[in-house]
Chains A and B, each alone.
Chain A
Amino acid sequence: MAEPRHAPRADAPAARSDFEVAPKDAGVIGDVARPLGTWERIANLTWFRRLVILAALALLWEINARWMNSPLLLPSFGEVMRAWFESLTRGALVDRTLTSIGVLLQGYAAGLFLAAVLTTLAVSTRVGADLLSTLTAMFNPLPAIALLPLALLWFGLGPRSLVFVIIHSVLWAVALNTHTGFMAVSETLRMAGQNYGLRGVRYVMKILIPAAFPSILAGMKIGWAFAWRTLIAAEMVFGVSSRAGGLGWFIYEHRQQMDTAFVFAGLLTVIVIGLLVESVIFRTIETRTVRRWGMQR
């Protein structure tokens, strides 16, 4: 270059010389990875943190109940635990719970199956897709309890009515999520699957379902919660028709007898089962699948 293209200006940054350095040993600041302290490690355990929260809530409850001193309105935590223990060991709680879970599983399984059929139809044909979106738009906002009178009319007083309303509450949530998941599978993955010569059911099973699994799982979780809520609510309306009532009936029965501690015991059972299913079953599925595959954090 004969002449500089720009004349140096007064406000140009000052010229600086180049330099190179060899990397130094960082040993002076200690090991690169140092183990955390015991407390820090304990505090990193999710279940431990949650347990602390639960203990704090129980303590608050106990204090509040003693201060109010009205076992009819708010029995103390200790009383509820006693009632719970009693109904678990000698009372009907175990039977009631098993009845509820039995009905629930029937409804849930049937709901999942129907959702699978509907979404398979929806991904394979355009009519199926239209059918699914129309039905979902119609029925998803409809509370399952609102269908209970009809169900009683059609299926009578029995578990079949319960199963019917549970199916209603599971089906649309799961189908909607699964279908959204299928739609979101990337074009590249689809073409990769077709490239291997996969078609029809094998293509759905080996490519679409695993690829859409985060959405499917989310749908199953929502469906589970809906089913559980619907069941308890329906049982309370429904009463004890067949041989054995469920958990909802247990709660309702004890409310009428003014055994508030037992009402709480029933509610606690509902909560505990919900927590167990969420944090044991669904969590295990999640860590073994979508988290391991890096599809979800």
Chain B
Amino acid sequence: MDARNADSIGGRAPASPLLAVDGVTLQYKTREHLVTATWRVGFEVLKGDRFVLLGPSGCGKSTLLKGVGGFLQPVEGSIVLAGRKVDRPGPDRMMVFQEFDQLLPWKTVRQNVLFPMLASGRCGRAEAEERARSYIEKVNLAKFAHVYPHMLSGGMKQRVAIARAMAMEPDILLMDEPFAALDALTRRKMQDELLRLWDDVRFTMLFVTHSIEEALIVGSRILVLTPHPGQVRAEIDTTHLGFGSREGEAFQALHRRIHDMLFSQRVEEEERLVQHG
């Protein structure tokens, strides 16, 4: 994006990653089991990347995102963001969740966007107000600034959540299937809107999805994960598809390639299970 600027920060090479995930194994406990969600996963996100974690359910992509969010400690490997080791949740990584109830119901749209900026002490009152106004405008909700979340539709709630996260101007935006609970038409609109926002602000994001199509539309780089436990299957650059493209020969070809990658793996696995059984 801005090579000169990147150079000036501690004289690092322009390509030094913003987020470095290295050999990360994540486990969580249920009541009866210790589940290994990801096993030795590594990837690097550069500034300005639209980095997508793609995989079927059970591949640990959401868990991986929670690890980057600091909600979960890796049992092995390291997660380093802008030179600092991630060890707890913090306002330098803002998370947008899939669930609509992530907004605080006791605050209006404007207060919801203001709250993290003030609570984390990220900026003063006046600047927070200004940022809130500008980002609420960016997601086209200026008319709803004084409305409580329960009066908004699902798509609008997600836009508030995105505005709230972006207004913090975090190092990286973590998106956990933010459009998965929306209807197909709204989802399409939101994908376009997100890309427009990116084009405008050029933030860095880590986006989790299980839809190959969404990954191809939204992402500039895709990490394909396979399940049980989650491992890296491939990393694919999609910038050649054209910004925000939804069709075309290359799009279809890549869609098929990823589909085969995930699908063939699953067949092999089922065969293995059958043999063992």
By a beta-carbon cutoff of 8 Å, the part of chain A in contact with chain B is 186, 188-189, 191-192, 194-198, 202, 206-207, 210-211, 213, 289, 292-295
- Measured CA separation A136–B115 after assembly (Å): 35
Residues of A within 8 A of B97 (CB): 188, 191-192
Q: Are A186 and B95 in contact (CB under 8 A)?
A: no
B153 on the A face (CB < 8 A): no
Q: Are B151 and A294 in contact (CB under 8 A)?
A: yes
Q: Are B119 and A210 in contact (CB under 8 A)?
A: no
Residues of A within 8 A of B102 (CB): 188-189, 192
Selected from B91, B105, B148, B151, the residue in CB contact (under 8 A) with A196 is: B91
Q: Are A289 and B106 in contact (CB under 8 A)?
A: yes
- Measured CA separation A202–B118 after assembly (Å): 13
Q: Which residue of B lies closest to A206 (CB)?
A: B119
Q: Which of B45-94 contact A (CB under 8 A)?
A: 66, 69, 71, 89-91, 93-94
Q: Are A294 and B101 in contact (CB under 8 A)?
A: no
List the count of A-B residue pairs having beta carbons below 8 Å apart: 63
- Measured CA separation A194–B93 after assembly (Å): 11
Q: Are A294 and B115 in contact (CB under 8 A)?
A: no
Q: Which residue of B lies closest to A207 (CB)?
A: B104
State whether A196 and B119 are in contact (beta carbons under 8 Å apart), knowing that A292-B148, A293-B106, A294-B149 are contacts in the complex. yes
Residues of A within 8 A of B151 (CB): 294
Selected from B89, B99, B106, B116, the residue in CB contact (under 8 A) with A186 is: B99
* Additional pairs, 12, CB under 8 Å, beyond known A189-B102, A194-B71, A294-B105: A188-B101, A189-B101, A189-B104, A191-B95, A192-B104, A195-B69, A195-B90, A195-B91, A210-B104, A211-B105, A294-B148, A295-B150
Residues of B within 8 A of A211 (CB): 104-106
Residues of A within 8 A of B106 (CB): 210-211, 213, 289, 293, 295
- Measured CA separation A197–B70 after assembly (Å): 11
Q: Are A195 and B105 in contact (CB under 8 A)?
A: no
In the complex, 26 of the A-B residue pairs with CB atoms within 8 angstroms, ordered by the A residue number, are A186-B101, A188-B97, A188-B99, A188-B101, A189-B101, A189-B104, A191-B69, A191-B89, A191-B97, A192-B97, A192-B102, A192-B104, A194-B71, A194-B89, A195-B89, A195-B90, A196-B116, A207-B104, A211-B106, A289-B106, A293-B105, A293-B106, A294-B150, A294-B151, A295-B105, A295-B150
B120 on the A face (CB < 8 A): yes
By a beta-carbon cutoff of 8 Å, the part of chain B in contact with chain A is 66, 69, 71, 89-91, 93-95, 97, 99, 101-102, 104-106, 115-116, 119-120, 148-151
State whether A197 and B95 are in contact (beta carbons under 8 Å apart), knowing that A189-B102, A192-B102, A293-B105 are contacts in the complex. no
A194 → chain B, closest Cβ, in Å?
4
Q: Are B148 and A195 in contact (CB under 8 A)?
A: no
Residues of B within 8 A of A191 (CB): 66, 69, 71, 89, 95, 97
A190 → chain B, closest Cβ, in Å?
10
- Measured CA separation A269–B106 after assembly (Å): 36
Q: Which residue of B lies closest to A294 (CB)?
A: B150
Q: Which residue of B lies closest to A190 (CB)?
A: B71
- Measured CA separation A289–B94 after assembly (Å): 28
A208 → chain B, closest Cβ, in Å?
11
Residues of B within 8 A of A293 (CB): 105-106, 148, 150
- Measured CA separation A19–B259 after assembly (Å): 39
- Measured CA separation A188–B104 after assembly (Å): 10
State whether A195 and B95 are in contact (beta carbons under 8 Å apart), knowing that A210-B104, A210-B106, A213-B106 are contacts in the complex. yes
Residues of B within 8 A of A192 (CB): 95, 97, 102, 104
Q: Which residue of A lies closest to B69 (CB)?
A: A195
A119 → chain B, closest Cβ, in Å?
19
Residues of A within 8 A of B90 (CB): 195, 197
